[in-house]
Amino acid sequence: MRLAEEDRLAPRMATLRALAFSVALLFACADARRPSPHLVFVLADDYGWNDVGYHGSEIKTPHLDRLSARGVRLDNYYVQPLCTPSRNQLMTGRYQIHTGMQHEIIWPCQPYCVPLDEKFLPQLLREAGYSTHMVGKWHLGMYKKDCLPTRRGFDSFFGYLTGSEDYFTHHRCVPVPPNNETRCAVDFRDGEEVAKGYDGRYSTHIFTEKAVGIINKHNKEKPLFLYLALQAVHSPLQVPSPYLEPYAFINDTDRRHYAAMVSVMDEAVGNVTQALQESGLWDNTVLVFSTDNGGQTLTGGNNWPLRGRKWSLWEGGVRGVGFVASPLLSRPGTVNTELIHISDWLPTLVALAGGTMNGTKPLDGFNVWDTISKGNPSPRQELLHNIDPLFEDISPCPGRETGLTLAESRGPEPWSRSKFNVSVHAAIRYKNWKLLTGYPGCDHWFPPPRMANTPEVGRTAATLKPVMLFDVKADPEERNEVSEKNPEVVAFLLARLEHYAKTAKPVIYPDDDPKCDPGSGGAWGPWA
């Protein structure tokens, strides 16, 4: 009986085996031409070095910790010190000096945006066959319709156009010229239309819901690019009260609120990852998490033990929290110490997508996928942090309340003969070396409030010089200035700055336009 049964089954088994073989073959072929991966980029706003659990923060980030532990944590990863510049470099793969946007951010009434002849990441991904969606903060200009995300490569956009606003009302208040009267108006859009019906709902919840909706609705035949640019954890310090409960132990009110905002963001990343897994997209997804700049210590953020903060070229302003999580990584569970910069994502993601650089201008970024995935040496040896001839520090800095001007030296120092104007705010990195010129911005080491009375903190108030050199590999806290001991390195890096300065476009930074005023009952948005 058993034999007979097996005999009868034998031909069917053969057929099944043949079928299994062809299925395996099919998979093998599919694997050789693996469909383009889904790309999910989560950008946090003003999220500091000392604000993630895995850097030892008192703030709890279980989702970020777990996800990054199974991915690759980027430990030598750099962003720009401000919102618009980082987003600009992410979208173009080019340094700010090459788009004319080396100065500050786009304020709501300024009539400009990233030049329209710059090709954006979502445009390239769309040409590579991707569906492209954006949720969250734009901040790359909106004075005319051609500047909007939906005109720059995104199939859909849900979010806000300026740099900050109320998390619940989605209103932004701005002094409007010529009389500088404060105008408060909504900045919230679905596509190009004003989004209505969201008053009172917390933006991190709304944006998570929109991102999850996009993932769940996604047609799996097409690769997905989702850019989730969270409002969290930029000021104002607002958060639904239940998230404050675990942080009763933080006495400092700003820090406590900030910590709670981070918790909502951490939950958001957890929900988005879960949606990717449940929808079946995860197995072929590359998820990048990055901050846009260092933490703002004036509003709860912290970069300890790094020096400085948002807006400055010290490590606290530019060394970013970032990681990649993906089943496609060759060496998951590693910490990567290779030099990587936010301008590298464009060439990296477009290469993963199997796309081309059709229509881009000369890139400053590198394809760093093999560096991240396999641990290969980074193709990037050098990094121009910025050159901004108009730099001003607009926020109070302990010990430097009146600001600081470093006079151009005509002394005997080797750099006084440099053709690069060392009064200009600039910084450049080469391998382990970092050279800063001019006033880099607030230079204090800001401890988290709970450490305010510990002895380590006393070592501040350093003397600044127009040219400063640090070995940031040996001295990531920028405590030992070594320019005098390394005159050749200084001369080399000043020559590199001089070279870059020659390639810089003139700064675009127009005066506010009174026509920006949306009037009472209007919304911030294109006016030209």
Residues marked active site are found at 83, 139
Binding-site member from 182, 241, 251, 402 for ligand NAG (CB under 6 A): 251
Distances (CA, A) of 257 to 61, 232, 348, 382, 507: 15, 12, 36, 38, 37
Minimum distance of ligand NAG from residue 471's CB (angstroms): 26
By CB under 6 A, the residues from 397 to 416 that bind ligand NAG are 408
Phi, psi (rounded to 5 degrees) for 150: -70, -15
CB 130 within 8 A of CB 36: yes
Report the residue number, 78 or 415, with the smaller CB distance to ligand NAG. 415
Minimum distance of ligand NAG from residue 378's CB (angstroms): 29
Report the residue number, 359 or 403, with the smaller CB distance to ligand NAG. 359
- Please give the Cα distance from 102 to 386 (Å, whole number): 7
Asked if 115 interacts with ligand NAG (CB under 6 A), we say: no
Bridge partners of 159? 136, 189
CB 91 within 8 A of CB 138: no
Asked if 418 interacts with ligand NAG (CB under 6 A), we say: no
Distances (CA, A) of 517 to 189, 192, 406, 511: 17, 18, 38, 14
- H-type helices in 425-516, by residue range? 487-503
Report the residue number, 171 or 205, with the smaller CB distance to ligand NAG. 205
CB count, 10 Å around CB of 488?
Answer: 8
Q: Say which residues have a Cβ less than 8 Å from residue 38's Cβ, sequence separation at least 6.
A: 218, 223, 224, 225, 226, 276, 281, 284, 285, 286
Minimum distance of ligand NAG from residue 395's CB (angstroms): 15
Minimum distance of ligand NAG from residue 9's CB (angstroms): 47
SS3 call for 32: helix
**Among the residue ranges 184-192, 203-211, 253-261, 277-285, the one whose residues contact ligand NAG (CB under 6 A):** 203-211
Binding-site member from 271, 395, 432, 486 for ligand NAG (CB under 6 A): 271
Binding-site member from 186, 268, 275, 504 for ligand NAG (CB under 6 A): 268
Asked if 393 interacts with ligand NAG (CB under 6 A), we say: no
Look at residues 274, 344, 310, 281 and name the one whose alpha carbon lies nearest to residue 76.
Answer: 344
Binding-site member from 11, 179, 219, 519 for ligand NAG (CB under 6 A): 179
Binding-site member from 277, 358, 480, 503 for ligand NAG (CB under 6 A): 358
Report the residue number, 60 or 450, with the smaller CB distance to ligand NAG. 450
Query: Which two tokens mark 275?
Result: 């949606």
User: How far, in whole angstroms, is CA 413 from its chain's centroid?
Assistant: 37
Binding-site member from 204, 303, 343, 437 for ligand NAG (CB under 6 A): 204
SS3 call for 313: coil
**Among the residue ranges 96-104, 261-269, 361-369, 465-473, the one whose residues contact ligand NAG (CB under 6 A):** 261-269
User: How far, in whole angstroms, is CA 23 from its chain's centroid?
Assistant: 41
- H-type helices in 218-356, by residue range? 253-278, 315-318, 345-352
Report the residue number, 252 or 370, with the smaller CB distance to ligand NAG. 252
- Please give the Cα distance from 437 to 445 (Å, whole number): 19
Binding-site member from 62, 333, 359, 398 for ligand NAG (CB under 6 A): 359
Asked if 216 interacts with ligand NAG (CB under 6 A), we say: no
Using H for helix, E for strand and C for coil, what is the string for 332-387?
Answer: CCEEECCCEEHHHHHHHHHHHCCCCCCCCCCCCCCCCHHHHHHCCCCCCCEEEEEE
Report the residue number, 180 or 376, with the smaller CB distance to ligand NAG. 180
CB 57 within 8 A of CB 319: no
| Distance between first and last Cα of the chain | 86
**Among the residue ranges 31-39, 158-166, 174-182, 287-295, the one whose residues contact ligand NAG (CB under 6 A):** 174-182
**Among the residue ranges 103-111, 264-272, 302-310, 477-485, the one whose residues contact ligand NAG (CB under 6 A):** 264-272
**Among the residue ranges 166-174, 186-194, 282-290, 417-425, the one whose residues contact ligand NAG (CB under 6 A):** 417-425
Residue with the CB atom nearest ligand NAG in the bound state: 208
**Among the residue ranges 33-41, 51-59, 265-273, 392-400, the one whose residues contact ligand NAG (CB under 6 A):** 265-273
User: Tokens 């998820």 belong to which residue?
Assistant: 287
Asked if 151 interacts with ligand NAG (CB under 6 A), we say: no
Binding-site member from 15, 180, 216, 253 for ligand NAG (CB under 6 A): 180
Asked if 424 interacts with ligand NAG (CB under 6 A), we say: yes
- Please give the Cα distance from 528 to 515 (Å, whole number): 8
Half-sphere exposure of 336 (CA within 13 A, CB side): 32
Minimum distance of ligand NAG from residue 343's CB (angstroms): 19
Asked if 253 interacts with ligand NAG (CB under 6 A), we say: no
Q: Dihedral (C-alpha) 112, 116, 121, 127: value to the nearest 10 degrees?
A: 150
Asked if 450 interacts with ligand NAG (CB under 6 A), we say: yes
Asked if 423 interacts with ligand NAG (CB under 6 A), we say: yes
Asked if 279 interacts with ligand NAG (CB under 6 A), we say: no
**Among the residue ranges 98-106, 216-224, 266-274, 328-336, the one whose residues contact ligand NAG (CB under 6 A):** 266-274
Residues that bind ligand NAG (CB under 6 A): 119, 127, 177, 179-180, 204-205, 208, 251, 264, 267-268, 271, 358-359, 389, 408, 421, 423-424, 450
